[in-house]
Structures are given as C-alpha cells and as structure tokens.
Amino acid sequence: MRFYNALLSLLPLLGQVVKSQSNYAPLSCNANTVVDINAPIDTCTPFSQLVNETLSADPNGRIVVPCGTCSIVDYTDGSTIDLPNGLNIVGRLHFPTSTNVRITTTNVYVQGLFDLPTPLDSNNELTIHLYGTNEYWFTPYDGSTDARSVGKKPFVVAGGTIHIQAVSNECESWTQLITKVDDYTLTVKNDFANCLSWNDEILVTSSK
C-alpha cells in the first residue's frame, strides 16, 4: 500500500483476509491518551532508533512499538527499510508530513494507533510492501484471546485504529470531466487539478 501526499492508493494485498470471531478491544495500557490522535508527539521515540536497537540485538527481531508509548517515523530520504519479522504497533506509530520511506516487511499488526493525520509533503511517499510465503499467527498483547492464524502477508487491525488523512480536507474525492481531449488528456476543474500530484492515478467511470 502507498500513501501519497495528495492521494491514498491501496494496492491489492495478496495475503489472506481473515474474519475474526473475537471482539478485540482497545488495550488498557494505552488508556493514558498516548493513542489519542490529538496527543502530543514531542516525546515520541524516533522510529529509526527503535528499528536500529531491535535489529542490532537480533537481525530477525520483530519491531514493536510498546504499549503506552509512541514512536515517530523519522525516515525522510525515500530509503527502504526492511523489517524481516514484522511490525507490531501496540502503542502509537506517528507518520509526520516529512515521512518519505518504503517499508518492506512480512506482517503488520495494529493493536494501538497507526497515525498519518496530515497529507505528506509534496513528492514524499510512504509505501508498505508485504512479502513472504510463511503463515503467521496473531496473539493479542493482553492475552485476551488465543492465538489465531492470519495467513500469509497479513495486515491485522485488532482492537487498534488506523487514522489516515492522506488527502487535504479541501480536496474533492471525485469530480466530473469537463472534456476528454484524447486517451491521454483530460480536462477537469482547476480546484481538483490543483490537488493532484505527479503519478497520481485517476479512475474514470461512466455516470450511466
């Protein structure tokens, strides 16, 4: 999946979608408003520090944002960060507007807050690429339920929240075509055009 500065594009995930038979709830250890989208981020741990400390201790370690804490993504140069054993967001992972990174990993669990509250800066991009053929199991942090199979390349939200504002509130999500010049050129309203960025994709449909 990719998060552009002006357009959210969810690429197809080839992993397994599992319908849960459990009712996952927010974790009590996050009750101190750490996972509140309005909570301050000035004391958040740099994500690069969390990644480096984990992988230095164990190259195959799973990156965990601990419950009751927050981490702020500080990769801004478009680099690729590989997390070979997954990312478990138990607390809050905050993506500021300066984020520009490609994260490759085998699984993502969101038990806290995945937080991208503001569109990324112009030309910046966040890509999360899931890979691998291993089957994974998910066990809630608080042990409230037994482990459950979540298949290959899972992106699991269990009791957590995904908060993504990838497009400005001032931008429309759709518009009517004014004219079609040819197969490669379309004319739309200026306000809509000003919200687009290079490489954004536009889906054209019929009103009939």
Give the residue extent of every domain in the chain: 2-164, 170-208
Beta bridge partners of 115: 94, 163
Mean pLDDT of 110-122: 93
Which parts of the chain fold into alpha helices (H)? 47-57, 190-193
Whole-structure pTM value: 0.79
CA angle 68, 72, 76 (to 5 degrees): 165
pLDDT, position 99: 97
Q: What is the phi/psi pair of residue 40, to 5°?
A: -65, 155
pLDDT, position 6: 31
pLDDT, position 21: 55
pLDDT, position 101: 98
Q: Confidence band (pLDDT; 50, 70, 90) for 42?
A: confident
Q: Which residue has the higher pLDDT, 32 or 45?
A: 45
Mean pLDDT of 106-123: 94
pLDDT, position 22: 65
pLDDT, position 187: 87
- Taking 80 as the threshold, does the pLDDT of residue 197 lie above it? no
As given in the structure block, the two tokens for residue 147 are 């482990």
Q: Please give the order of strands across the beta sheet that includes 8-9.
A: 8-9, 2-4, 125-130, 101-105, 79-83
- Taking 60 as the threshold, does the pLDDT of residue 2 lie above it? no
Per-residue pLDDT tens digits for 46-59: 999 999 999 999 99
Report the chain's terminal Cα–Cα distance, integer Å. Answer: 31
* Residue 52 CB partners (closer than 8 Å, separation 6+): none
- Identify the burial level of 68 via C-beta atoms within 10 angstroms of its C-beta, where 0-12 means exposed, 13-18 middle and 19 or more buried: middle
